[in-house]
Structure 1
């Protein structure tokens, strides 16, 4: 290894993007206790992420519904791998064209290794049972433990990378470069406190920065860091000062975000066609009725449109109006009509027209659909010097943007809103709530405190150090869920206990959550031990 490579690894190179979180000296081989095989700093980051047990556990975490061991449905691991594939392809295309390469460099840079690493890491923080688990843990964190930050999958991913994983040289996070840490910040702000003014206060807030409709006063619906990781966020974003706005994604974060949208729009639809959930008749009826009755549906009063939410054609019309309300910077009715026609022709009337029967022909049709759409969407990626607050600098062209919205609509309307999925998820929500109750009871049982799972014990100590430091040095960040200041040792301990329990539960796979609750509830007759959990 030459001296140039050593300087890059240490973060002492002229490029501040290679600066590592710890600012530690190079650690290699047995003497340093940590060995990297790659010499490129960004390839090192990719390798560290892939080697993390938090990455491995994604193979047991739901993407939309539990795979049940069939191997036919995407999980968070296979999803992350495909997002990484798309992200690298987009970044390489940007680098291949002189104009886009120059523009990306002015905005802070676009390295394919950084985009790929960020894509691999972007879902590290997803809890058991996917987005359902995210909502349950957020409610528990805010309402039960008074954590104003609550729980958010993106913020949890950043916390794992910078704090709770111990695979880095100093056993605090993964010690990744600034570029990769910044590229994971899809929503580069805190829920409530940072930056100032908060992006949620902008006339047109960035995607995710506004408050959720069902949670006024709770802060941003989406955010990428908790108050405990604010210093890490600031450090990671430092190389981009003066290049992009405080609330904007880096170019590489925008690449990752766009790749996530593309993969989600295509692969989840394939999953549910494969297992027979996505039915041709219902989807075809929705698209056919809206296409035939455009004029009538567009003239309906908004209240009338909402009276019968399942009437064919109504859902697509509500989508069109919602897009106008939120994304007037890009939405266009003609482009929307063309997108509906394209999705209807290629998804509804072609792929879904026949049931998936496992035949060679069915597999080839699926592969052809995926390849055709992935190619079309990736080719539609652009880099723009000036964009709406609703978009990153890397974005889809108008036609492809509308097509992704329609594809995601099919998934949301005909999969996520199914009553059988709701039944399944209500059970999962109850399971997670009961598991938190059981772990919390164990934590406050003084007679059993010495027999806590070691990992949970360590997480309590870590969280207590973090909240005690905030109380001493940044008390303005230490507020409860009601927005009132938190003070006193007991209050700090309560916050720490809540964060530790949430961290612990969020680190489980679906199956680990189920079997751990069985053990805690006395339903399991066999001793149970997993080193990563206990």
Structure 2
């Protein structure tokens, strides 16, 4: 056994509350309980499903070099473990802060990292946005759909284990560690006057529909509050230490590893990326004088999008942003990405793969070694965060993602087609469940989910909670969303073809529904 695995972290010393399960299980050592959690997550069908769910670029036609949600999750797990182990060996002041706040067990951080994307639906973030809109506007679910809330729902309700019909019966520590946005959607619905720089990261600016990002639906809000009660020193809108480790690891993996994909796929081009970064660096003072209307009207002009990204970042995160640090980060990304990796087109050869490996290793090592721990973090930060320089690096790397990949018209066309697939699935399955002559022939898993979810809403209503509608309608709607969100990309396409009557592959397409 790896000695670093078997050595208890000096700052961890989990209490009985952190190792608590629902219902209570046979008492175990906390580290053993956490390892059981990690194994249950890794053996879950929701985890293996991630191998066929889009990360950013669809794998179809791009080969196995492109990341999917599973490979991304595995890399987040590796980075999180490295950060957590480094915290174990940190200075005494840092260890005291971590101990006061509930500890940092590297197995808990690994488990949370393995689980953090379980709730992502087909087609990546596009699928998340579309299902949220459909859940609210077509099905009348006020709390819509959100990948993080879906993750918590899977772990606590939808998945099952040998000892629990509903949920994996995980410890409080691991359940708390997946709560990246530890509030329900409607908690921020009436906070319209709070400025963006005083809102927790993820709440969003437009709060007419509540928080943009959140970690529990109404059905699971009570359990979210219950597991957070095991951490009395953690503030109301703050992550646990292990959760913030997972969150930082997610940022690192996303900002670095996805660039590998874009380079391999030929999406990132040296000329266009270089023009954007170099123009901003050489014309920074001139661009800073542009009024907002002019800037927004000319975002396709080299340098203008980066200037807009800087302004938005400074407006939201004044607690950490610094113009000089941002400029230094742009220079580091230019030197490492543009003049390094992108200077030679990817040709699939050994030399090209070694360049990718060297680029990835340099940035991963730099970022995971740039960790700060705070007892009283800013409302937009966490107890564990990146240092100021590394934080700016990630901002610039994410900008490259958005500007040169996510905003591409060819990707947008593809995504509009995926959105129509999800629309047809929501309408098709919901219509099936409301057809009294044919509802009995709906997929068994979907019917079981409807029955269970209706009962959950009924229990909430009996407890005096305002659920905002008829229990049958809400239960049916949430079950439809749960069902579709559990599909892989291919299953979503196949199911849409079957419901639309355009498939001639009945048994192949329908066997997994």
Q: If the TM-score is normalised by the length of the shorter chain, which range does it land in?
A: over 0.9
Q: How does 1:236-315 map to 2 (within 5 A)?
A: 236-241=227-232, 243-315=233-305
Aligned counterpart, 1:496: 475
Aligned counterpart, 1:524: 503
Please state how far the C-alpha of 1:474 moved relative to its aligned partner: 3.2
Aligned counterpart, 1:219: 210
Aligned counterpart, 1:443: 433
Q: Distance in 2 between matches of 1:530 and 1:41?
A: 39
Q: How does 1:170-249 map to 2 (within 5 A)?
A: 170-193=164-187, 204-212=198-206, 216-241=207-232, 243-249=233-239
Please state how far the C-alpha of 1:473 moved relative to its aligned partner: 1.3
Match of 1:377 among 358, 367, 377: 367
- Verify the 8 A CA contact 1:508 1:533 in the aligned structure 2: no
Q: Distance in 1 between matches of 2:408 and 2:151?
A: 29
Q: Distance in 1 between matches of 2:303 and 2:137?
A: 39
Match of 1:51 among 43, 47, 62: 43
Please state how far the C-alpha of 1:168 moved relative to its aligned partner: 4.8
Aligned counterpart, 1:76: 69
1:509 maps to 2:503: no
Consecutive unaligned residues of structure 1, counting only runs of 5 or more, are: 1-12, 28-35, 480-485
Match of 1:365 among 327, 346, 355: 355
Aligned counterpart, 2:444: 454
Match of 1:433 among 409, 423, 429: 423
Change (3 A) 1:307 1:203: closer
Q: How does 1:77-92 map to 2 (within 5 A)?
A: 77-92=70-85
Q: Distance in 1 between matches of 2:281 and 2:188?
A: 45
Change (3 A) 1:203 1:132: closer
Please state how far the C-alpha of 1:528 moved relative to its aligned partner: 2.5
Deviates more, 1:420-429 or 1:377-386: 377-386
**Match of 1:409, SS?**
helix
- Verify the 8 A CA contact 1:200 1:209 in the aligned structure 2: no
**Match of 1:208, SS?**
coil
Please state how far the C-alpha of 1:462 moved relative to its aligned partner: 1.3
Q: Distance in 2 between matches of 1:461 and 1:98?
A: 53
Aligned counterpart, 1:3: none
- Verify the 8 A CA contact 1:58 1:77 in the aligned structure 2: yes
Match of 2:54 among 57, 62, 68: 62
Consecutive unaligned residues of structure 2, counting only runs of 5 or more, are: 1-13
Q: Distance in 1 between matches of 2:194 and 2:145?
A: 18
1:359-393 deviations in Å (ceiling 9; x for gaps): 11111111000001100001101111221100001
**Match of 1:72, SS?**
coil
Aligned counterpart, 2:143: 149
Aligned counterpart, 1:138: 132
Q: Distance in 2 between matches of 1:308 and 1:194?
A: 34
- Verify the 8 A CA contact 1:455 1:533 in the aligned structure 2: no
Q: Distance in 1 between matches of 2:104 and 2:294?
A: 47
Aligned counterpart, 1:20: 21
- Verify the 8 A CA contact 2:457 2:471 in the aligned structure 1: yes
Please state how far the C-alpha of 1:282 moved relative to its aligned partner: 0.5
**Match of 2:229, SS?**
helix
Q: In angstroms, what is the RMSD of aligned CA positions?
A: 2.2
Please state how far the C-alpha of 1:79 moved relative to its aligned partner: 0.4
1:134-174 deviations in Å (ceiling 9; x for gaps): 11110111111111110000000000000000125121100
Q: Distance in 2 between matches of 1:141 and 1:108?
A: 36
Change (3 A) 1:64 1:388: same
Q: Distance in 2 between matches of 1:293 and 1:197?
A: 39
Q: How does 1:32-51 map to 2 (within 5 A)?
A: 40-51=32-43
Q: Distance in 2 between matches of 1:427 and 1:194?
A: 32
Please state how far the C-alpha of 1:471 moved relative to its aligned partner: 1.8
- Verify the 8 A CA contact 1:518 1:524 in the aligned structure 2: yes
- Verify the 8 A CA contact 1:309 1:315 in the aligned structure 2: yes
Q: Distance in 2 between matches of 1:195 and 1:253?
A: 24
Aligned counterpart, 2:101: 107
Deviates more, 1:88-97 or 1:518-527: 518-527
Aligned counterpart, 1:10: none
Q: Distance in 2 between matches of 1:147 and 1:201?
A: 27
Aligned counterpart, 1:4: none
**Match of 2:126, SS?**
helix
TM-score by length of 1: 0.90
Please state how far the C-alpha of 1:193 moved relative to its aligned partner: 3.6
Please state how far the C-alpha of 1:25 moved relative to its aligned partner: 4.4
The aligned length equals 498
**Match of 1:475, SS?**
coil
Q: Distance in 2 between matches of 1:199 and 1:260?
A: 31
Match of 1:127 among 111, 121, 127: 121
1:319-343 deviations in Å (ceiling 9; x for gaps): 1111110000000011011000010
Q: Distance in 1 between matches of 2:208 and 2:188?
A: 15
